[in-house]
Amino acid sequence: MTVSEKKSFYVTTPIYYVNSAPHIGHAYTTVAGDVLTRWHRQKGESVWYLTGTDEHGQKIMRSAQENGENPQAWVDRLVDNDWKPNWRDLNIANDDFIRTTEKRHTERVQRFLQSLKDSGYIYAGDYEGLYCVGCEEFKLPGDLTERSGKQICNIHEKPVEMVKENNWFFKLSAFVDPLLKLYAEHPETCQPESARNEVISFLQSGLTDLSISRSTFDWGIPVPWDTNQVVYVWFDALLNYATAVGLGDDPQSEGGKKFVQTWPADVHLVGKEILRFHAVIWPAMLMAAGLDTPKKVFAHGWLLVGGEKMSKSKLTGIAPRDITDHFGVDAFRYYFLRAIPFGTDGSFSWEDMHARYTSELANDFGNLASRLAAMVNKYCDGVLPSVSHDAGLERFLAETVAKADAAICELDFQGGILAIMEFCKRVNGYVTEKEPWILAKNPANEPLLREVLYNTAEALRALAVLLHSVMPATCEILWDSLGANQSIGPIADQLISEVAKWGQLPQGALITKSAILFPRLEVSA
Ligand code: MSP
């Protein structure tokens, strides 16, 4: 790992429980983080993108037991066979992958805990309360529903368990005012607004101290001064964002320098069900340690199946591969961010995905690319004619770049993608209006024909760069077919700030027919 001086734009996903293989809900967050990462890289920023796995606690321990394996063997197998390959398949460009069973994590967690104890934020006490193993959370009455005499967790719809233990507590209640002040002074640190309002009203109702250790099982990080207890899994897990970048290391060491370079995190992406952990407990832990709080926690909505949160435990989990086998990886990456406003719940449907694939990707985008390559080959022997301009297209492109950049930096992925696809539609309209196939019939129209072909190629150059963060592999194929690798350089090096400069493809670039970008779907889904 090379450590440069510049502050990195630091993006994280939640670390996922390895009680089963990933489903499309997990992929939704990770793809969003990847698009944000790639976009910021194309803004010329140094970006650090972290994902990983949450491997301790009762939920993982029980799933290992149910499968007749010891927990370490169970998590090792799932991480190696399912989680890491899944992110590779989805073309996720994370810089690091943290596992909470790694030594670099466990040691830093223990050191952090000891320092909070030394500064008086941790004390011993008795805990009695209801616990949901699915959420790995102590529940409040408002989080539960009574059914047949049992208290049921509203998220997992499973009965909660009574826990009565002598534990270590974190003085969470001391942070109500500092947290309220944080959100009053820096509302941008908890997004979207509706999520922040929920956090604020939760804080206004007061906080109780948090039990941060458990003594009735041992699958966790031992509390350093009391090894009969293991650290509460959320306390352990939240710290991953900081342990992965060298929390508490000597400032002169590699880890210490990395911490200065990355901390505070710029964006923690989380699903809305885990917002309270990230917008209440996590900043309080950091405040207690005298560390900066994250610049933004963004709570996105759920993918729903049959109107409910899609989840493995309810047997509604869909594996990413079930979709990518049919539609391809890039259509998968595109679809969820395009179809669902980030921050809102959305239902997944095969029909809707099929319709958007056909109209937006295959027809609007893919066909434009193949028509251009076919026409340049037919009318110009595959050689791009001289540089031309079209004031209308150029203006539209400049506006598109500004809109898309503003939207994506605000995590409005849908707004950003829509702006780019509007430009794509505009270019299709330009081609339809100019009718190059008619122009080609009369040699007198050749200058105009060349102009239209050049402008269309140039528009596709811009589209390839703008869509690269969403659909990297497809845009690389398009880039190649425009001869842009040779004439301009790698697509990943193209800056968003330069995209709207018209005339970058040089005269003479070799335009080749690529494979169809979005092939016709074999069987209707
Ligand atoms: N291990 C904790 C997170 C610890 S972070 C310090 C956890 N893990 S999880 O495996 O349950 O993953 C939760 C995350 O997966 C959600 O926050 C969200 O990002 C994603 N999703 C899981 N199901 C989802 C949907 N149905 N829809 C959208 N995202 C979902 O909680």
Distance (angstroms) between ligand 1 centre and the Cα of 164 equals: 27
Distance (angstroms) between ligand 1 centre and the Cα of 14 equals: 6
For residue range 48-79, list pLDDT tens digits in order.
999 999 999 999 999 999 999 999 999 999 99
Percent of the chain surpassing pLDDT 70: 98
Distance (angstroms) between ligand 1 centre and the Cα of 273 equals: 8
Atom of ligand 1 nearest to the CA of 238: 6
Confidence bin at 525 (pLDDT 50/70/90) = very low
**CB contact at 8 A, 417 and 334:** yes
Tell me what the mean pLDDT of segment 177-191 comes to. Answer: 98
- Bond prior to 283 in cis (omega within 30° of 0): no
Q: Which of 264, 262, 210 is nearest to 235 (CA)?
A: 210
Confidence bin at 311 (pLDDT 50/70/90) = confident
Q: Is the model's pLDDT at 524 over the cut of 60?
A: no
Q: Is the model's pLDDT at 3 over the cut of 60?
A: no
Distance (angstroms) between ligand 1 centre and the Cα of 269 equals: 10
Tell me what the mean pLDDT of segment 444-470 comes to. Answer: 98
- What is the distance between the alpha carbons of residues 97 and 105, in angstroms, rounded to a whole number? 11
Atom of ligand 1 nearest to the CA of 16: 10
pLDDT for res 523: 65
Q: Is the model's pLDDT at 5 over the cut of 70?
A: no
Tell me what the mean pLDDT of segment 477-500 comes to. Answer: 98
Top mutation candidate among 11, 12, 18, 28 for ligand 1, by most atoms within 8 Å of CB: 28
**CB contact at 8 A, 264 and 295:** yes
Structure token pair of residue 410: 């605000």
Give the closest residue (by CA) to ligand 1 atom 19: 271
pLDDT for res 157: 85
Tell me what the mean pLDDT of segment 111-121 comes to. Answer: 98
Confidence bin at 338 (pLDDT 50/70/90) = very high
pTM for the whole thing?
0.96
2-35 burial: b if 16+ Cβ within 10 Å, else e: eeeeeebbbbbbbbbbbbebbbbbbbbbbbbbbb
Q: Is the model's pLDDT at 6 over the cut of 90?
A: no
pLDDT for res 306: 81
Q: Is the model's pLDDT at 108 over the cut of 90?
A: yes
Parallel, antiparallel, or unpaired: how do β-strands 190-191 and 297-300 relate?
parallel
For residue range 424-438, list pLDDT tens digits in order.
999 999 999 999 999
Q: Is the model's pLDDT at 2 over the cut of 80?
A: no
CB of residue 25 inside a 6 A radius of ligand 1:
yes
Tell me what the mean pLDDT of segment 157-177 comes to. Answer: 94
**CB contact at 8 A, 337 and 417:** yes
Tell me what the mean pLDDT of segment 34-41 comes to. Answer: 98
CB of residue 15 inside a 6 A radius of ligand 1:
yes
Tell me what the mean pLDDT of segment 337-352 comes to. Answer: 95
Burial of 69 (0-12, 13-18, 19+ CB in 10 A): middle
Atom of ligand 1 nearest to the CA of 304: 26
Give the closest residue (by CA) to ligand 1 atom 26: 310
CB of residue 237 inside a 6 A radius of ligand 1:
yes
Give the closest residue (by CA) to ligand 1 atom 25: 25
pLDDT for res 156: 83
Give the closest residue (by CA) to ligand 1 atom 30: 25
Tell me what the mean pLDDT of segment 382-395 comes to. Answer: 98
Confidence bin at 92 (pLDDT 50/70/90) = very high
The helix/strand/coil state of 1 is coil
pLDDT for res 4: 52
Top mutation candidate among 20, 24, 29 for ligand 1, by most atoms within 8 Å of CB: 29
Top mutation candidate among 24, 26, 270 for ligand 1, by most atoms within 8 Å of CB: 26
Kindly report the average pLDDT of the chain as a whole number: 95
Give the residue numbers marked as catalytic.
Answer: 23, 26, 132, 135, 153, 156, 309, 312
* 169 strand-pairing partners: 123, 211
For residue range 230-240, list pLDDT tens digits in order.
999 999 999 99
